[in-house]
Amino acid sequence: MLSFQSSKNVLSLTEDLLVRIYELLAAESDRKSFRLVCREFRRIDSLTRRHLRVIRIEFLPILLRKYPRLQSLDLSACPRIDDGVVSLLLTRVGPGSNSPSLGHWAWGLKSLVLSRATGLRFSGLEMLTRACPCLESVDVSYCCGFGDREAAALSSAVGLRELNMDKCLQLTDVGLAKIAVGCSKLEKLSLKWCMEITDLGIDLLCKKCVDLKYLDVSYLKVTNESLHSIASLLKLEVLGLMACPLIDDVGLQFIERGCPSLKVIDVSRCEGVSSSGLIYVVRGHRNLLELNAGYCLSELSTALLHQMKNLNHLEVIRIDGARISETSFQVISANCKSLVEIGLSKCVGVTNMGIMRLVSACINLRVLNLTCCHSITDTAISAIAYSCRSLVCLKVESCNMITEKGLCQLGSFCLLLEEIDLTDCCGVNDKGLEYLSRCSELSCLKLGLCTNISNKGLSYIGSNCLKIHELDLYRCTGIGDDGLEALSNGCKKLRKLNLSYCNAVSDRGLAYIGRLEELSDLEMRALHKITGVGLEAVAVGCKKLADLDMKHCEKVGDSGFWALAYYSKNLRQINLSYCGISDMALCMVMGNLSRLQEAKLVHLSNSTVEGVELALRACCARIKKVKLFAPLRFMLSSEILEILHARGCIIRWD
């Protein structure tokens, strides 16, 4: 960091040099430090910044004024954005305080993320698309209320290239037609879960938007007719057909003859697709890079294998749930030498010998998913470790026969390993973790249900794997406060931590957790020893906490919740089920946490109906999803339920 003495020299740097320096800062925390140095630096920051992700909407007007060069705006974390807010932003926020040029910030905007903006409707969207003439990318995924009118509003953005409409549940062919006609330059379109879309809409889309490179129609009830239309897209590179129940091998025949640029295809979970369908696809597209066929093959047949010999460029293959023989591995490894990722989750017939054959030639493998391949042992792991030196991700959940020997090999050879899933591998012990901790790049470690590990093992991780940002210790009953101390001393970058059912953890352990400033996700179900003191320590220390699950933490008292209400301003999701929270504390938590979007409030032993009602009233403007005790359905006032419904809040009754 810059020292005080050198600041004069730094200030003498010209603006363009400062901009260059600024652009070299990758981490957000570094940029934050940069702009806090002085006004000049701060000015550089505001001039250079292109992307903005807003977490608290109340600062949005100021921020938009401060950053005039924005190209990308992410409002997905703002639950409260609605048509009124959009209108205000466009009419009131100019570059200067008295500037007549209204909505200036929107002129240069190219990318807009409005995911989960359930408060927004077509009039607001229309205002936005009109105000942003350069708009190229829009994300309105998970806006469940969006339909044809919203699509019509979006279709006025004629320059649109990328559009994500996942789970816009009301969207029909009519809305899709609007977009297809209006945004003819579209290159990327995702329509997952838009259940009303039929073949007619897809057909029109393929005729109007001929530049499409990416199309995802996963989960739609489209038939082979749609595939016939899609086959005419000459530029299509990525096609997502996941879990389309009505397509089958006949439809894939069209793909064989069409889509000459196809690189990636996903037919996983398509009930109608069999290996003969995949044969068509493979036969027609020798340059395929990625083949995703999980849970649609019963067996990797020899005919398919024979065709796959030609896929010399294949990088990713996922055949989860299929039966696979040892000779198949031989064929794959002999022909698909550029394979980078292979997914064999829940495959039957994966043996040590098979894996050894596979890795003998596929030395570029970086991602290997062997989840639930129960018969593999340390022999296979050793072979993987020895051959695939560039391995980044290894998933061996439920492979019970893996012991410290295998981990020793991994720790010796796979020094690039970033992610390992050892959930439910009861062969893992402290010694194994010691070996594994040699992989200093490790960022994601899952040790759920590994009951044989203790504080000692965790201390190895804490002292060596300093880059860890996700750690899963679900039901690791051997872990206690000392382990967490070691962890908090080393793994300062930890963002996601699961401590559920680690019964030994007490308030002291949570105090260590409080030292993890980057922590955003904390799951600590059923920690019976912790009280309000521990929760307060977490709330005060973990300022970025966004997701907190403390179901069944029955001993936590109101003081802890009050602390939560005052300190955890960034909290977005909370699970307070089976907690002893009082009415007052509940109102505080729900009312004061201005970013809260989702709350689970089942079986609150110390709360009354009135308390819940008041708490809901306090947060009804922004809450999006709430889970409540089923009998409350008839006890809460209909007024509050109507308000919640009107605001687009989903209520789950339990």
Partner 1 sequence: MDLKERVCDELQKEVPKGASSTNFNTQHQQKWEDPSSTLDYSTRIEPPFQAFNQTCQTQSLLLCNNQIKVPMQDGSINDLLQQASKIQDWDPSAMLNNLSFLEQKIHQLQDLVYLIIAQKGQVLGRPDELLVQQQQLVTADLTSIIIQLISTAGSLLSSVKQTLSAATTSLGQCGEFGGVVFPSSAQRLNDGVQPQNAGGSKVSEPPNSIDITSNNGNEQNNHIVEEHELKDEEDAEEGENLLPGTYEILQLEKEEILAPHTHFCTICGKGFKRDANLRMHMRGHGDEYKTPGALAKPTKESSSEPTIIKRYSCPYAGCKRNKDHKKFQPLKTILCVKNHYKRTHCDKSYICSRCNTKKFSVIADLKTHEKHCGKDKWLCSCGTTFSRKDKLFGHITLFQGHTPAIPSDEIKVAPAGTSDGATNKVGSVNFNLSSYVSSESEVQSSSMDIKGGIDDAVGYFSPLSFDTCNFGGFHEFPRPPFDDSESSFAFLLSRSCNYSQKSGE
> Considering only residues 522-541, where is the footprint of partner 1 by CB under 8 A?
540
Asked if 29 is part of the footprint of partner 1 (rule: CB under 8 A), the reply reads yes
Q: Which lies closer to partner 1 via its Cβ, residue 85 or residue 465?
A: 85
CB 170 within 8 A of CB 195: no
160 binds partner 1 per the rule CB under 8 A: no
Shortest CB 123 distance to partner 1, Å: 5
The piece of 2-10, 74-82, 392-400, 458-466 that touches partner 1 (CB under 8 A) is 74-82
Residue among 539, 551, 598, 555 at smallest CA distance from 578: 551
- Tell me which residues in 558-577 interact with partner 1 (CB under 8 A): 562, 566-567, 569-570, 572-573
CA–CA dist 589, 584 (Å, integer): 9
CB nearer partner 1, residue 83 or residue 326:
83
Q: Tell me which residue of 302, 346, 338, 348 sits closest to 317, measured CA to CA.
A: 338
Nearer of residues 428 and 564 to partner 1, judged by Cβ: 564
The answer to whether the beta carbons of residues 629 and 607 sit under 8 Å apart is: no
Residue 62 or 635: the one with the smaller Cβ distance to partner 1 is 62
Identity of the residue, 193 or 501, whose beta carbon is nearer to partner 1 in the bound complex: 193
- Quote the least distance from Cβ 148 to partner 1, whole Å: 5
169 near partner 1 (CB under 8 A): no
Span 433-462, contacts to partner 1 by CB under 8 A: none
CB of 219 to partner 1, least distance (A): 14
Residue number, 264 or 643, with CB nearest to partner 1:
643
Q: Three-state SS for 87? A: helix
Residues of span 192-221 touching partner 1 by CB under 8 A: 200-201, 203-204, 207-208
Hunting for tokens 């439809």 — which residue is that? Answer: 251
Q: Least Å distance between CB 416 and partner 1?
A: 20
Q: Which is nearer to partner 1, 33 or 451 (CB)?
A: 33
Name the H helices within 132-234: 148-154, 173-182, 199-208, 224-230
Q: Which is nearer to partner 1, 56 or 456 (CB)?
A: 56
Query: Which CA distances in Å does 550 have to 126, 182, 522, 599?
Result: 41, 48, 8, 11
Burial 541-550 (b: 16+ CB within 10 A, else e): bbebbbbbbb
The residue among 155, 273, 138 whose CA lies nearest residue 208 is: 155
User: Looking only at residues 353 through 392 of this chain, which bind partner 1 when binding is defined by CB under 8 A?
Assistant: none
The interface with partner 1 within residues 98-127 (CB under 8 A) comprises 98, 116, 119, 121, 123-124, 127
**Span of 148-156, 327-335, 352-360, 424-432 interacting with partner 1 by CB under 8 A:** 148-156
Residue 56 vs 508, nearer CB to partner 1:
56
Sole window of 178-186, 209-217, 265-273, 431-439 interacting with partner 1 (rule: CB under 8 A): 178-186
What is the per-residue DSSP string for 307-338?
Answer: HHTT-TT--EEE-TT-B--HHHHHHHHHH-TT
**Is residue 606 close enough to count as binding partner 1 by CB under 8 A?**
no
Closest CB 618 distance from partner 1, rounded Å: 7
DSSP-assigned beta bridge partners for residue 74: 53, 113
Is 577 exposed, middle or buried, given 0-12, 13-18 or 19+ CB atoms closer than 10 A?
buried
Nearer to partner 1, 422 or 599 (CB): 599
618 near partner 1 (CB under 8 A): yes
**161, 318, 395, 495: which one contacts partner 1 (CB under 8 A)?**
495
> What is the Cα–Cα distance from 53 to 168, expressed in whole angstroms?
22
Interaction with partner 1 in 244-283: which residues (CB under 8 A)?
Answer: 250, 253
Concatenated DSSP letters for 394-438? EE-TT-TT--HHHHHHHHHH-TT--EEE-TT-TT--HHHHHHHTT
When the beta carbons of 181 and 334 are compared against partner 1, the nearer one is 181
The rounded distance, in Å, linking the Cα atoms of 577 and 560 is 15
Q: Which one among 13, 19, 61, 185 touches partner 1, defined by CB under 8 A?
A: 61
State the nearest-atom distance from the C-beta of 605 to partner 1, in Å. 22
DSSP 8-class letter at 348: B
Considering only residues 44, 63, 114, 340, which one is a binding residue for partner 1 as defined by CB under 8 A? Answer: 63
Q: How far is the CB of 338 from partner 1 (least distance, A)?
A: 28
Minimal CA–CA distance to 267: which of 288, 247, 287? Answer: 247
Phi and psi at 607, nearest 5°, equal -105, 150
